[in-house]
Structure 1
Amino acid sequence: MNTNLGAIELTESAISDTDFELIREVAQSFVAKELTTKIARQAEAGDWAAANGIWTAIAELGWVGLMSPDGFGADGLPVVAMIAEELATAAFPMPFGETAAFVVPILARFGRGSFNNLVESVIAGSQLVAIAMPANGLPASRDECALASLSENLSRSPWIAEHLDRASAVVIPVQTDQGIGIALVRKPAAGWGGNHNPDLANNTYVTIDWASVSQGETTLIDQGELTWTALDSAFDTLRTVFAAQVVGLSRAALDLAVSYAKEREAFGKPIGSLQAVQQRLAEAYMENVAARLLVSSAALSPSPASVAMASIQACESGRKCTFTAQQIWAGMGYTLETDVQLFFRRARARQLLLGSPWQQREIVWEKAARQKWAI
């Protein structure tokens, strides 16, 4: 394997703790040097030039292909989650997690080599492949997948895809006569169609226009052999990365709160010296550290229960850290002039993709009940 991670050359199939920390240092250095929230703000305003430039640089570092067969495969998830967390601290708007943790592995694993050129282009950063999903989040069962005859989805609930207008193809989980499949649809000659449907983070989510999408060249991937269990496991991998992004966004919001608490004065002294403020910040910090630990554990072994626990705690961290930051910043924390609202909105948008906390708790409970834990 030849994975370029800056100055690091890795040749083992698994990643040692030492190499992992070296990669973390590279990622943190890259974010500190190359990324600012200005890039996210420009993207929200419709100018993606800077974000596309950073995406090319990330591809050149080899990060997009970490979970490819020529990379670390499934063993690359802890690194992908860590990098996603670091990129999130600058609210980076491009789909690193979705591409590295889902698109590349799913096409490489189930495409049987027929999409090698496309996968290589995605890893090189020259093409984007979007992921379609129901508007309320990733499918939770086979019945929530799209119909394989794409035009027949016109009367069903709406589906969305992020970055669809910049994508050369889209992957869609579908129901088939044999069970489950993935439809890879190339961009139709007339374009994707659909209406822009910005989420809380003002990313370019597009509502799927099934009539237009069905005109694209469509290939069904591994129908009859791809099981719902395998697809759901791939979704759990993606949820792990989403949770890591929430941890990074939360961490950045908390850092803003701590810095402001040291600077803002009330009654002649910094508000950070007040016990009530210190307590709120300490509680938010503990929630964030707990979320980071659970996400790291889930990335090492992404079982349904570990991913559910990581998702629950990531959501709690997102709520606590971003809300605390807004309170510390007072009224200014709710204005577009500050970055606090930027991290608040993006954390909320990612939390929605993790699914309902009650659904996640049911998964944890089933695991606890099976093991007869003492509750």
Structure 2
Amino acid sequence: MRFVLDAGQRAFADSLDAMLTAAGTPSVVRDWSRGEHASGRALWSRIADAGVFALTVPEEYGGLGAGPVELVVAFLELGRHAVPGPLVETVAAAALLTGLDDPGPAKRLLPVLASGASTATLAPGPYALDADMADVRLTTPPGTNDLYLAPPAGAAEVRRSLDPARRLFPLPPGGELLASGPQVAVAAGHALARGRLATAAQALGVGLALLDRTVRYVGQRSQFGVPVGSFQAVKHRLADAKIALEFARAVLFGAALTTTAADVAAAKVTACEAAYTTARAALQLHGAIGYTAEYDLSLWLTKARALRTAWGGPRECRALVLSGRDRRW
């Protein structure tokens, strides 16, 4: 099945691509990796002005009330340009707040998240992304159905990720209790699915960027008097990467239409594995320069590896797909 975006969705993607290209994201990523957030916050405001964080927030909370397909379109471009920050975590936090039976936390927090005035992070595991700069830090302690607004994390507690721009922090215990009971477990499930869908889109964008950069490089790099890209073995590696990415694109947009947990998990593992496969090919075909941290390719290589295990690794996602839950056949 072929999924075709409508004119409005294509225009949205094109506008984001143009804005992020002009922003020079590689320098923003390097600043963010050092804990310098000024340029990243400025870019965050521009992304918010484009409506990205308001996409799936209900209109009564200041959002646009759009669907998951539009979210996928946006995160494809964010991944393609390697934009740093708690992007996925902010939309997942919005999904969690929207899913609560008690509208109080949503009324309080969703408008500032949708407008981009505040950033959010959510801890699906022991660490939360960018908790040192996030304004809203949500956590559900293991074994409980409690949702807390956690205190700020100390900058000295940073845990380095495979991707230097993904700065991880343990959230301090305690904080303000926002909600409790079964509603939290249900809402957390919605947040997990939303986080996985956005991560899958982000990973696919990373993979597409790696493929584009590698195709350009092997077309310019020469050996034995001819472009490296003219060698059949190189063509095969790039063709395999292209096939994997296009297959992942179909699975991803299919999951955006159904939004079932199993379909989203399938999209997550398919997109992340395709991006990782492409990253390995890109590294090999670039040769020694691909290993150089100063070379911009590294920004996408490390992100592809880190996203592979973010919001549920391959084993966890495959287990959910094979469990038979949400199966439609």
Query: What TM-score does the superposition give when structure 1 sets the normalisation length?
Result: 0.78
CA distance in 2, matches of 1:162, 1:175: 18
CA distance, structure 1, for counterparts of residue 36 and residue 260 of structure 2: 39
Q: Who is 2:96 aligned against?
A: 106
Partner of 1:219: 177
Give yes or no for contact 2:120–2:137 (8 Å, CA) kept in 1: yes
State the 1:371 CA deviation: 6.4
Letter of the 1:57 partner, please give it.
R
Find the counterpart in structure 2 of residue 321 from structure 1: 278
Over 3 Å counting, the alpha-carbon distance change for 1:129 and 1:316 in structure 2 is closer
Find the counterpart in structure 1 of residue 171 from structure 2: 208
For residues 186 and 358 of structure 1, the distance between their equivalents in structure 2, rounded to whole angstroms, comes to 32
Q: Indicate yes or no: 2:4 matched with 1:18.
A: no
* Residues 163-242 of structure 1 mapped to structure 2, 5 A cutoff: 163-174=130-141, 180-187=145-152, 192=154, 195-202=157-164, 203-210=166-173, 214=174, 216=175, 218-221=176-179, 223-226=180-183, 228-242=185-199
Q: Mark the runs of 5 or more structure 2 residues left unpaired by the alignment.
A: none
Q: 1:194 to 1:235 in 2, by over 3 A?
A: farther
Counterpart CA distance in 1 for 2:280 and 2:150 is 40
Q: Distance in 2 between matches of 1:193 and 1:38?
A: 21
**Of 103, 114, 118, which aligns to 1:123?**
114
- Work out which structure has the larger RCO, using CA pairs closer than 8 Å and 6 or more positions apart in sequence: 2
Describe the SS at the equivalent of 1:299. helix
Offset from partner CA, 1:276-320 (integer Å, 9 cap, x none)? 101100110111111122111112222122112112211221221
Distance 1:36 1:166, change over 3 A: closer
Amino acid in structure 2 at the alignment position of 1:196: V
Pick closer, same or farther for the CA change 1:168–1:278 going to 2, 3 Å. Answer: same
Offset at residue 348 of structure 1 (A): 1.0
Which residue does 1:147 correspond to in 2?
A: none
Amino acid of the structure 1 residue aligned with 2:169: V
What's the secondary structure of 2:323's corresponding residue? helix
Distance in 1 (CA, whole Å) between partners of 2:306 and 2:78 is 16
In the TM superposition, residue 267 of structure 1 has moved relative to its aligned partner by 0.4
Q: What are the Cα deviations for residues 42-87 of structure 1, in whole angstroms up to 9, with x where unaligned?
A: 21133221111011111222221111111354x5222122211101
- Kept in 2, the 8 Å contact 1:335–1:341? The answer is yes
Q: Secondary structure at the match of 2:145?
A: strand
Q: Which residue of 1 aligns with 2:39?
A: 50
> Following TM superposition, by how much is the alpha carbon of 1:129 offset from its aligned partner in structure 2, in angstroms?
2.2
Letter in 1 for 2:296: D
Residues of 2 paired with 1:193 and 1:39: CA distance? 19
Residues 184/45 of structure 1: CA separation in 2 closer, same or farther (3 Å cut): closer
Paired residues of 2:130 and 2:167 also in contact (CA < 8 A): yes
- Tell me how far apart the structure 2 counterparts of residues 35 and 244 of structure 1 sit (CA, whole Å): 21
What is the aligned partner in structure 2 of residue 10 from structure 1? Answer: none
Identical counterparts, % of pairs: 27
- What is residue 250 of structure 1 aligned with on the other side? 207
Structure 1 residue runs without a partner (length 5+): 1-15, 135-158
RMSD over equivalenced CA pairs, Å: 2.4
Larger radius of gyration between Structure 1 and Structure 2: 1
Separation of aligned partners in 2, 1:68 and 1:325 = 37
State TM-score, norm by structure 2. Answer: 0.89
List 4+ stretches of structure 1 deviating above 6 A: 368-372
Letter in 1 for 2:163: A
Q: Report deviation, 1:266.
A: 0.5
Of 54, 58, 66, 2:55 maps to: 66
Question: May I ask how many residue pairs the two structures share in their alignment?
Answer: 320
Q: Name the structure 2 match of 1:28.
A: 17
2:123 corresponds in structure 1 to 132
Contact persistence 1:243–1:354 (CA under 8 A): no
